């Protein structure tokens, strides 16, 4: 008996005709179960053989998940029990010092395997055949058409309803509701973030439990209705109440959409989609300025001020669209009806390395949430996003006031707010294209951050040149709203498994939006028009984001190097790999 090996228990093999046939096909396979050949035998499809089920395993400090004895279920290969014959030692032949002495007959290689459209296969997408009725390019285009446009429109309306208070303020909101004293306007902005932060994770859990189109459309109807009600408030208390419930209903929009996109695309495909979706915020800023300039002309129509019509009409638009989106918003790949069964199987296979097997395989429990936060990278991911939220919301909420300080009328202010948003959209898509093409994230996050810092530096140092200050606003918007989708995509797509991604994505957005509270109190009316305090705070938090990105890059790179040097095949089942997500030893982070 090998040194240090445990005595092998005497187990009476069960009679199984299928396994007996496999034993005859594998000439001499039963001899591998000798004590001198300790090891776990698995076929090429990760199906445990009957002989392997009787083999004791050595304890190893490098493999803490494996028991000292393993009696695995006796079953033939579920892919092709006749043709499949390749047997390998697992978890590590070097541990046991033996290799297979009696390989199977080469005649078996001539047999054809069955088509791999099954749902249990454990190979990666490179070994899965695209259905003959389509091509990979056509299938991705089909997914793009059914997923991205609807999510973009949904979040465009959500962001528009969230920040249109800045446009309403230009048309007299603060004057009519007496918000110019005691920082009431800033408090009205901040109250939104309290429920928005608290309900991020619960909302993603509900999205996973319910169908995404149902949960997201319900939330969409809710924040559209609340936005309409903002147009009818008569006092400060009414505004605070509506802003609070706006945060409740919008809490699930952003992390839910990012989570859903991550369930459809592989990591090297995701950045363009993430950036295009995220850029709906820049489109909302541009569209909101144009729309507000038009709606503002309705001032005093039917007895309502222009700022009230902004809330009423934009909220009504959201409510109407929510009814259509109940039928149009996408679900998880396993649940959609616009994919054929072979296409669904292929999509699940090609994504398996990123998120596991099924979106509805097991509900998220409190233990799952706790396990996610044992990973320090989760907290770094929150800091990356947190640092950029301060300048992003500072710009979204206060750029109209900053531009108005340059001497423009309300209508001119709304129109001048459009070009920086449009430039941010173009720059974000350009960076996303090269990030996906080069399959790299870190440098494509750091470069826009530097652009953002440059813009704030100009705003702090230049006060008499309004044209240069206006140009600096372009740099701020382009930098912040380009780096944010890169960071969110980088972090979300590095989270493997539905549970880790659902919790991690919600955590990043929820924790990050604490920065929105800081942003709203960084740009106070008493600091206008220079806003030196707000610009300085924004620079500090952007630098924090850059440092966090660097730390995250180092941690992911270190994890990849450690896994490259460690045991690759640790004998984990497909279910165990799914549960571990990106903590699976075979998983590699995108840098």
* pLDDT tens sequence across 244-260: 999 999 988 887 887 78
Cis-peptide into 529, omega within 30 deg: yes
Cβ atoms of residues 155 and 281 within 8 Å: yes
* pLDDT tens sequence across 49-59: 433 333 344 43
* Token output for 531: 């806003």
How far is residue 357's CA from residue 584's CA, in Å, rounded to a whole number?
14
* Token output for 444: 């494509």
Pick from 362, 412, 397, 378: which is nearest to 548 by CA? 378
Domain boundaries for CATH 1.20.1250.20 within the chain: 136-583
pLDDT at 431: 94
Pick from 201, 197, 245: which is nearest to 219 by CA? 245
Tracing tokens 């929009």 back to the chain, one arrives at 253
What's the Rg (C-alpha) of the chain?
Answer: 28
- The class of domain 136-583 in CATH terms is mainly alpha
Type and span of the H or E element at 40: strand 40-43
Residue 90 has pLDDT above 60, yes or no: no
pLDDT at 225: 96
pLDDT at 285: 80
Does the pTM surpass 0.75? The reply is no
Alpha helices, DSSP H only, in 405-531?
410-416, 418-438, 442-461, 466-494, 498-512, 514-520
Q: Crossing angle, helix 306-328 and helix 280-295, to 10 degrees? A: 140
How far is residue 441's CA from residue 487's CA, in Å, rounded to a whole number?
8
Residue 434 has pLDDT above 70, yes or no: yes
Phi, psi (degrees; rounded to nearest 5) at 192? -60, -35
How far is residue 303's CA from residue 541's CA, in Å, rounded to a whole number?
44
Of 141-150, 212-221, 356-365, least confident by mean pLDDT is 356-365
Residue 556 has pLDDT above 90, yes or no: yes
pLDDT at 119: 33
Residue 513 has pLDDT above 80, yes or no: yes
Three-state DSSP state, 414 = helix
* pLDDT tens sequence across 443-476: 999 999 999 999 999 999 998 899 999 999 999 9
Query: CA angle 164-170-175, nearest 5°?
Result: 110
pLDDT at 569: 58
Phi, psi (degrees; rounded to nearest 5) at 89? -80, 140
pLDDT at 209: 80
Pick from 36, 336, 307, 31: which is nearest to 175 by CA? 307
Cβ atoms of residues 84 and 96 within 8 Å: no
Find the mean pLDDT for residues 96-109: 40
Q: Crossing angle, helix 212-230 and helix 136-170, to 10 degrees? A: 20
pLDDT at 568: 60
* pLDDT tens sequence across 520-548: 889 888 888 889 999 999 999 999 999 99
pLDDT at 276: 85
Cβ atoms of residues 557 and 440 within 8 Å: no
Q: Which residues pair with 41 in a beta bridge?
A: 89
Mean pLDDT taken over the chain: 77
Of 193-207, 288-302, 357-371, 389-403, least confident by mean pLDDT is 357-371
* Token output for 431: 């960076």
Highest mean pLDDT among 7-21, 22-36, 444-458: 444-458
* Token output for 321: 């669209």
On the CB side of 124, CA atoms within 13 Å amount to: 6
Of 176-185, 196-205, 241-250, 349-358, least confident by mean pLDDT is 349-358
How far is residue 392's CA from residue 286's CA, in Å, rounded to a whole number?
14
Of 3-17, 394-408, 522-536, least confident by mean pLDDT is 3-17
Residue 12 has pLDDT above 90, yes or no: no
Biggest distance spanned by C-alpha atoms of the chain: 94
Residue 136 has pLDDT above 90, yes or no: no
- Percentage of residues in the chain having pLDDT higher than 70: 75
Three-state DSSP state, 364 = coil
* pLDDT tens sequence across 360-394: 456 777 887 888 888 899 999 999 999 999 999 99
């Amino acid at each position: 008996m090998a040194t240090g090996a445990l005595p092998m228990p005497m187990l009476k093999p069960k009679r199984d005709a299928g396994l007996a046939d496999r034993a005859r096909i594998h000439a001499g396979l039963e001899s591998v179960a000798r004590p001198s050949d300790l090891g776990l035998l698995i076929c090429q499809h990760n199906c445990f053989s009957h002989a392997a089920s009787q083999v004791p395993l050595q304890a190893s400090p490098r493999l803490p998940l494996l028991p000292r004895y393993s009696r695995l279920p006796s079953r033939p290969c579920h892919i092709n029990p006749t043709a499949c014959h390749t047997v390998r030692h697992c978890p590590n032949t070097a541990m046991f010092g033996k290799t297979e002495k009696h390989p199977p007959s080469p005649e078996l290689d001539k047999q054809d395997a069955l088509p791999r459209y099954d749902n249990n296969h454990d190979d990666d997408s490179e070994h899965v055949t695209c259905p003959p009725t389509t091509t990979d390019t056509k299938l991705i285009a089909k997914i793009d058409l059914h997923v991205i446009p609807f999510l973009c429109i949904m979040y465009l309306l959500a962001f528009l309803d969230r920040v249109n208070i800045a446009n309403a303020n230009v048309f007299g909101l603060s004057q009519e509701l007496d918000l110019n004293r005691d920082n009431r306007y800033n408090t009205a902005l901040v109250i939104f973030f309290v429920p928005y932060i608290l309900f991020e994770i619960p909302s993603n859990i509900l999205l996973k439990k319910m169908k995404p189109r149902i949960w997201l459309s319900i939330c969409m109807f809710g924040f559209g209705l609340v936005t309409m009600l903002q147009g009818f408030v008569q006092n400060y208390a009414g505004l605070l109440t509506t802003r609070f419930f706006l945060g409740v209903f919008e809490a699930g929009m952003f992390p839910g959409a990012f989570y859903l996109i991550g369930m459809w695309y592989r990591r090297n495909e995701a950045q363009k989609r993430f950036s295009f979706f995220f850029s709906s915020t820049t489109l909302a800023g541009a569209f909101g300025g144009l729309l507000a300039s038009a709606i503002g002309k309705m001032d005093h129509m039917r007895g309502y001020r222009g700022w009230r019509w902004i809330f009423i009409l934009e909220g009504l638009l959201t409510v109407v669209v929510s009814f259509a989106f109940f039928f149009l918003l996408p679900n998880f790949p396993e649940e959609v009806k616009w994919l054929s069964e072979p296409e669904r199987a292929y999509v699940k296979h090609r994504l398996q390395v990123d998120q596991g097997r099924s979106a509805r395989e097991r509900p998220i429990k409190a233990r799952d949430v706790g396990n996610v936060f044992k990973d320090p990278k989760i907290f770094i991911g929150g800091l990356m996003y947190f640092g950029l939220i301060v300048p992003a919301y500072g710009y979204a909420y206060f750029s109209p006031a900053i531009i108005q300080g340059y001497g423009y009328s309300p209508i001119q202010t709304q129109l001048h707010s459009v070009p920086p948003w449009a430039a941010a959209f173009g720059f974000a898509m350009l960076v996303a294209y090269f990030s996906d093409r080069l399959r790299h994230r870190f440098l494509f996050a750091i470069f826009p951050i530097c652009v953002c810092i440059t813009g704030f530096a100009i705003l702090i140092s230049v006060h008499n040149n309004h044209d240069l200050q206006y140009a600096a606003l372009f740099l701020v918007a382009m930098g912040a709203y380009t780096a944010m989708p890169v960071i969110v995509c980088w972090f979300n797509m590095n989270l493997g498994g539905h549970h880790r991604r659902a919790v991690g994505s919600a955590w990043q957005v929820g924790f990050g939006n604490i920065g929105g509270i800081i942003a709203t109190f960084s740009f106070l009316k008493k600091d206008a028009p220079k806003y030196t305090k707000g610009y300085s705070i924004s620079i500090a938090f952007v630098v924090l984001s850059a440092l966090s990105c660097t730390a995250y890059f180092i941690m992911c790179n270190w994890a990849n190097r450690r896994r490259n040097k460690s045991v690759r095949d640790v004998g984990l089942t497909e279910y165990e790999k799914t549960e571990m997500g990106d903590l699976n030893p075979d998983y590699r982070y995108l840098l």
